[in-house]
Amino acid sequence: MEQKKLLLIFNPRAGRTKSRSPMFDAVSTFSQAGYLLSIHQTTAPGDATRIAADVGGEYDLVVAAGGDGTLNEVIAGLIQLPNPPLLGYLPQGSTNDFATSLHISGNPAAAAAALMATAAPRPLDIGRWCDRSFVYVASFGAFVRSSYSAPQAAKNALGHFAYILEGMKDLNTLRPYRIKLTADGEVLDGSYLFGAVCNSTSIGGLMKLDPDRVVLDDGKFELLLIPSPKTPMDLQNLVLALLNQQYNREGVVFRHVSQLHLETTESLPWSLDGECAPSRSSVDIENLHQAVRMLL
């Protein structure tokens, strides 16, 4: 019987302050499960995508070890393959939004043990943003800069709090963005403070969506648009509504959509899985239904 092969793509910069001992335990767990391991360490942005696309097809299982950005890169490489192998994830980042949605342990040894105990893979939808992919969220507007401008050292040391600190710098510059958005035939033309197209129950470690309303393999994204508050009291009420997952508040848009087209004449900051994406006057987003299969 041919031995199963596992490719581990490891980002050493993710969660740099964390102990590496659990990672060694994870490698041991994979080996004991009968896998022949090959470990590739990333050294620069884009490495994980290149490795996954170049050699991922030679393996039965590809495991991403790093933060959400590492997972994004690995999947971006795998979906280039005609028959992507199974995917695994050992979250090592500072926020790990997607791992939170999937209830994956932040301890690599525990995550690896759960991975090897899995009997069946789970299909997952992946997003396409113009010519780039995203795993769990494409967002724009207020607080987006904080997801990629917080220093890596601060993310490693402070986790969610680093995003909060960075986001506070935006408070004095909050402003609405005028957009025209067509989602599954519905046209929304207005000004919004923040918008997200997501497939996750956690956005930036700060905003939570009702897990009963988020299905990761249904061919649909959750679209959330936040209106611009007119007074400080409106802002307070809006924050409370979002914290309580009350999406029917006046002005808030919450939909389940499979594709959308957005147009704007403004410079609109975007974030894909916490990484910066350039402003574009026209953006197309589509759901790649069950594009990968993940062991959970």
Show which residues are catalytic.
275
End-to-end CA distance of the chain: 25
Nearest to 123 by CA among 286, 287, 292, 288: 292
Cα-to-chain-centroid distance, residue 230: 31
Is residue 277 within 8 Å of residue 270, measured between CB atoms? yes
Q: Where are the alpha helices (DSSP H) in 79-151?
A: 97-102, 108-117, 144-149
**Site of tokens 């935006």:** 170
CB 254 within 8 A of CB 247: yes
